[in-house]
């Protein structure tokens, strides 16, 4: 389904942006930690909270990615089911078309034989078959 494919692509983009943000957050956290270590600094409560906030943000971004993955899995399932059902429906319609074509051909043949039998009125021809 075209609309679901567009949604899927949009979610993929959002997921990639979230991953980039997580990578930047981790890199930033490492830089700050390195700076603190290098300068032998002690952190106060506000800096500790800021570092924790950065971790919380990364966790939330990861949760968003997990939610996107779940939605994408369901879209994949739906698309697979839809495609399978569509393929089954198309196959069934093709088989039905073949059967109807055969039936129509037989009906036309019987009509032609009936018309010939009726017009010629020969007793030695096949019996009249009705559809």
Give a yes or no: residue 76 inside a domain.
Answer: yes
* Per-residue confidence (pLDDT) for residue 108, from 0 to 100: 83
For residue 62, what are the contacts with CB-CB under 8 A and spacing of at least 6?
A: 18, 22
**How many domains is the chain partitioned into structurally?**
1
| Residue range of the domain that includes 36 | 2-86
Give a yes or no: residue 103 inside a domain.
Answer: no
Give a yes or no: residue 123 inside a domain.
Answer: no
Give a yes or no: residue 47 inside a domain.
Answer: yes
Average pLDDT taken over every residue of the chain: 85
Give a yes or no: residue 72 inside a domain.
Answer: yes
∠ CA 9-10-16 to the nearest 5 degrees?
90
Give the confidence band of 4 by pLDDT, cuts at 50, 70, 90.
confident
Give a yes or no: residue 60 inside a domain.
Answer: yes
Give a yes or no: residue 104 inside a domain.
Answer: no
* Per-residue confidence (pLDDT) for residue 117, from 0 to 100: 58
Give a yes or no: residue 108 inside a domain.
Answer: no
- Can you say whether the dihedral through the CA atoms of 43, 49, 53, 56 is positive or negative? positive
* Per-residue confidence (pLDDT) for residue 14, from 0 to 100: 95
For 31-88, the pLDDT digits (tens) are 999 999 999 999 999 999 999 999 999 999 999 999 999 999 999 988 888 878 878 8
């Amino acid at each position: 389904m075209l609309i679901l494919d567009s949604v899927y692509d949009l979610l993929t983009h959002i997921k990639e942006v979230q991953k980039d943000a997580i990578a930047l957050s981790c890199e930033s956290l490492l830089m700050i930690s390195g700076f603190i270590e290098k300068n032998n600094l002690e952190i106060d409560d506000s800096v500790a909270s800021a570092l924790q906030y950065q971790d919380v943000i990364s966790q939330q971004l990861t949760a968003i990615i997990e939610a996107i993955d779940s939605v994408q899995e369901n879209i994949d399932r739906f698309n697979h089911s839809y495609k399978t059902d569509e393929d089954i429906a198309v196959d069934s319609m093709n088989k039905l078309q073949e059967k109807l074509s055969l039936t129509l051909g037989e009906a036309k043949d019987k009509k032609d034989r009936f018309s010939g039998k009726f017009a010629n009125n020969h007793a030695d021809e096949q019996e009249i078959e009705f559809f």
